[in-house]
Amino acid sequence: MAVDPKEFELEYFKKNGFIRQKCKVCGTHFWSQRISDVCGESPCVENTFIENTPTTLHLDLNGVRETFLNFFNKNGHTIIEPYPVVCRWRDDLLVTIASIVDFQPYVTNGELPPPANPLVVSQPCLRFEDIDNVGVTSGRHLTIFEMGGAHAFNYPEKEVYWKDKTVEYHHELITKVFGVKSEKISYKEHLWSGGGNAGPAVEAIVDGLEISTLVFMCYKMENGHWVPTIVRTVDTGYGLERWAWLSLGTPTAFHAIFGPLLPKFMEIMGVECENRVLIETGKLSGALNVENPNLSNQTREKVAKRLGFSVEEYMRRIEPFEKVCTVLDHTKALAFLLAEGVVPSNVKTGYLARMLLRRIYRILYEFKCENQLLELLGYQIDYWGKFFRNIEISRNEILKLAQIEVEKYKRTLEREMEILIKKLNNLRKEGKREVPREVIVEAYESHGIHPMQLKEQAMKLGLITNIPQDFFSSIIKMHTRKTAEIEEKDELETILLEKKIPSTEKLFYEDPKLLQFKAKVIHVHNNYIVLDRTAFYAESGGQLSDIGKITWKDREGVVKYVKKIGGIIVHEVEGATPPLNTEIIGYVDKERREQLSIHHTATHIINGAARKVLGEHVWQAGAQKDVKEARLDITHYTNITEEEIKRIEEIANEIVRKNIQVEIYTLPRLEAEKRYGYRLYQGGVVPGREIRVIKIGDHDVEACGGTHVLNTGEIGFIKVVKVEHIQDGVERIVFVAGKAALEKVQEAFGILKDVSRKMQIPPEKIVESVEKIIKENEEIRRKIKKYSKRLSEYALPYIKEKAEILSGIRLYYVVNNDLDESTHIEIGSTAIEEIQNLLYCALIPLNNVVQVVVFSGKQAQEKGISAKDVANFVAKILDGAAGGDKRFGRGGGKNIDKLNIIKDKLIEYLKDKRCE
């Protein structure tokens, strides 16, 4: 989609003398009051604000945040609290990457009203796609940053403000509040798109630095075309870190963001760097980008020249500093992630936390201070905890999760390093001098050993390692395979949408005990029917669907499955299907519903209990409630112990015995979030503007659409059946409740009784007895093995006697299955040692096949008799095949009918052989 230039012809620009111009370097159009042939953004120009701030107000990040919020507040925007950095309210994103994410999709698509309109928020955001640039670009790239979002949501019936006012606010803040001269600012034309939305945008540039992006979201993608949206959203992103950097004019943004933490981290890591090196780097840092190595290298040369250094000398000075910055950024991001209960693991946000921690650890290791990782994390908590209360509150949780993860990483490194050393030693033995690329890739991908760590080890062993410049990007390319995701819409879904069938009235919410109801059929499609109202619960939230029957007149249909399509509930009916507009009576299977409800409420109770026993990092990672049993997956960093399970069981059953009322009520989404926090979203995303809250005393509160019991006492009893380790960071608790629990216990006792009766041993002696049996079994197995060996010795005289003498060789030929193949091998191999002119030939008929074992003694071999050939000869008669060598051959075939002619043919064959 190309943007119509008209989109940018703002009244505000015209009235204030902004002129549209084109940058001769990058070709972008921009608006500025000053005539210039360049757009003003680095790398088209240098960063001129360094050591030469254009502002009259000088603030660090915390100051900028306050000023920004107050400015918009004074201009009619309501300040709202930032959302979490882990965006659990959406299933299409792992982390909050922009302030607008807080309001997508329900606010931006008009389904929900915003918490205020207009509003302003300073939203901590995480972004990982530029992680390799963090530290090397003087702070232009960060994994964690605050996006100042001033948002206005414009509805057809209610216009708040649009482009002109947005630019005006921005311009006023930067000029009147921060005191930048108006002509210093240029606004670059840009098209923004993301998350299925798009719109024109302007990027605000001051003295080389892009400080804000003002987006006017007004299109959405529909059937491959951009169409206007109903709600037009002002989506501004003020880069607060950059505003702070600009206003202080410090050599890097890290100075402005981290203040006293920067010198502290430098001291701990033992890093020093002259200011002039940082200043000269900062001026040109707009051209530094690891994804563009050519430009970066040129820029490095340029900076080195200005400083009067060789490139090597310059890099030696700047690189350690850059690593300090990376650590500063990463430890902050890690603290924010862990504060929200993210358990480091190998999936999703857990992986992001792990990656950050490992990067930090590796850098600190380089500076020999890896043991101070937790200390550094502590400083971040001290510093940011003052402004973000949850960081301070979660201090212990953050440090504990980090500590456990460090220990895990150390263990992994130790183990994997040993494997690597072995491999490197092998390379050396093979006479190689350089580590091949495959080995570097394998070490990194399969064993988590960073190329730098590999290089260090290889050097010790005298091997050269050349890490390709594009190593990481090539790995990423290997992984990214674009798969066109085409969501196939159900045929039924399409029809329901087209016919505009209304949402079904959900009787199971109004009265969870209602199991019999009257309703009218409003749509029929094959054996699927839609009613105007229903008490049948449709499968969702891990709770299985209800079943039952419907009757009308004198007819009856069985409801075997119920599903939800949007707000419409569809019943799959077997047997007779009622015609349209029939009045029916529905009967919900009572036992199943009760059991599912019991399991569902029990799941919430177990979840709360697990959180109490294991810690605040416990989140539901998945759940399924079946009739027979239920399971709950939770995030946790280590295997749950027997003791912990016992405590969870105890707490859960205590809640049951207290017979607490299960409160169910709906709240406006924002109200619910405000009252109970994002912990509500245990079961994942809950769409819609109203949230159904399930509250069990002060034990647990969750947003949930399932059916529940009225009082916890109805559950009767909860028993954990087993605990499984699903994946790193996720544990599964399988449990039973209510009647299913009774059945499970009865079943367990039944098994015990059966075993006891069969073994004729009292239950309490079973374990002891089984141990004995296992031991005896092992002994027997050993004996058989020993005996078959002995058998080969004892068999010798027998074989000598039975073997037929055929001019010079002796043939021992046997057809039966008294002995198995391995025994024949044992006997045969011993026999030919003793009787060197022996040809040992055993045919073992088994079910439908015959196995052939042939041994040929030394003398027999000399006479040209090869065991392999004999085996092959025999096997061919049996329509099979054989292999081996001249001493030992084995094979077989399927044609059992030929079994009786083999001996004659074999003797003939041997005669022929000796004629040769």
We find the least distance from the C-beta atom of residue 480 to RNA, in angstroms, to be 6
For RNA, give the closer residue by CB, 543 or 830.
830
Longest dimension (CA), the chain: 120
We find the least distance from the C-beta atom of residue 10 to RNA, in angstroms, to be 35
For RNA, give the closer residue by CB, 218 or 733.
733
Contact in structure between 552 and 578 (CB atoms under 8 Å): yes
Structure tokens at 460: 């010790």
Radius of gyration of the chain (CA): 38
* Residue of 30, 46, 62 lying closest to 288 (CA atoms): 46
**What are residue 694's DSSP bridge partners?**
664, 702
The number of residues making up the chain comes to: 916
Other CB atoms within a 10 A radius of the CB of residue 24 amount to 11
Give the containing element (helix H, strand E) for 443.
helix 437-447
For RNA, give the closer residue by CB, 621 or 704.
621
We find the least distance from the C-beta atom of residue 722 to RNA, in angstroms, to be 11
- SS3 category, 368: coil
Q: Residues 461, 465, 466, CA angle at the centre, nearest 5°?
A: 170
Per-residue HEC secondary structure of 825-839 comes to HHHHHHHHHHCCCEE
We find the least distance from the C-beta atom of residue 905 to RNA, in angstroms, to be 18
Contact in structure between 99 and 146 (CB atoms under 8 Å): no
User: Can you say whether the dihedral through the CA atoms of 138, 142, 144, 150 is positive or negative?
Assistant: positive
Say if strands 838-846 and 809-815 run parallel, antiparallel, or are unpaired: parallel
- Residue 9 vs residues 5, 29, 189, 515: alpha-carbon distances, Å: 7, 12, 10, 63
Say if strands 548-552 and 620-625 run parallel, antiparallel, or are unpaired: unpaired
We find the least distance from the C-beta atom of residue 725 to RNA, in angstroms, to be 4
Q: Cis peptide before 43, with omega less than 30 degrees from 0?
A: yes
We find the least distance from the C-beta atom of residue 411 to RNA, in angstroms, to be 8
We find the least distance from the C-beta atom of residue 829 to RNA, in angstroms, to be 4
We find the least distance from the C-beta atom of residue 728 to RNA, in angstroms, to be 5
* Residue of 270, 369, 379 lying closest to 331 (CA atoms): 379
For RNA, give the closer residue by CB, 293 or 883.
883
For RNA, give the closer residue by CB, 422 or 911.
422
For RNA, give the closer residue by CB, 222 or 778.
778
Helix axes 311-339, 261-269, angle to 10 degrees: 120
We find the least distance from the C-beta atom of residue 446 to RNA, in angstroms, to be 4
* Rounded distance between C-alpha atoms, residue 313 and residue 739, angstroms: 76
Per-residue HEC secondary structure of 842-896 comes to EEEEECCEEEEEEEECHHHHHCCCCHHHHHHHHHHHCCCEEEECCCEEEEEECCH
Dihedral (Cα; 86, 91, 96, 102), 10-degree rounding: -110
For RNA, give the closer residue by CB, 236 or 349.
349
Residue carrying the six token digits 């604000």: 49
- SS3 category, 457: helix
For RNA, give the closer residue by CB, 616 or 820.
820
Helix axes 348-366, 395-429, angle to 10 degrees: 70
We find the least distance from the C-beta atom of residue 872 to RNA, in angstroms, to be 8
We find the least distance from the C-beta atom of residue 883 to RNA, in angstroms, to be 2
For RNA, give the closer residue by CB, 163 or 868.
868
Spatial neighbors of 199 by CB under 8 A, at least 6 apart, are: 191, 192, 193, 215, 216, 217, 218, 219, 235
Q: Output DSSP code: residue 285.
A: G
Q: Number of helices (H) and strands (E), helices first, in the chain?
A: 27, 30
We find the least distance from the C-beta atom of residue 699 to RNA, in angstroms, to be 28
We find the least distance from the C-beta atom of residue 193 to RNA, in angstroms, to be 17
* Rounded distance between C-alpha atoms, residue 112 and residue 617, angstroms: 30
We find the least distance from the C-beta atom of residue 94 to RNA, in angstroms, to be 8
For RNA, give the closer residue by CB, 425 or 516.
425
Q: Residues 336, 633, 361, CA angle at the centre, nearest 5°?
A: 35
Backbone torsion region of residue 127, taken as left when φ is above 0, otherwise alpha when ψ lies between -120 and 50, otherwise beta:
beta
We find the least distance from the C-beta atom of residue 97 to RNA, in angstroms, to be 11
* Rounded distance between C-alpha atoms, residue 741 and residue 630, angstroms: 10
We find the least distance from the C-beta atom of residue 175 to RNA, in angstroms, to be 39
Other CB atoms within a 10 A radius of the CB of residue 268 amount to 17
Q: Output DSSP code: residue 292.
A: -
Residue numbers at the binding site for RNA (CB under 7 A): 128-129, 346-348, 351, 354-355, 358, 408-409, 412, 416, 418-419, 422, 442, 444-448, 475-476, 479-481, 724-728, 778, 782, 785, 822, 825-826, 829, 849-852, 875, 880-884, 887-888, 890-894
Write the DSSP assignment of 388-415 as a string of letters.
-HHHHHTHHHHHHHHHHHHHHHHHHHHH
We find the least distance from the C-beta atom of residue 347 to RNA, in angstroms, to be 4
Phi (first) and psi of residue 734, to 5 degrees = -100, 130
Residue carrying the six token digits 């530029």: 130
We find the least distance from the C-beta atom of residue 346 to RNA, in angstroms, to be 5
* Rounded distance between C-alpha atoms, residue 202 and residue 187, angstroms: 6
Other CB atoms within a 10 A radius of the CB of residue 314 amount to 21
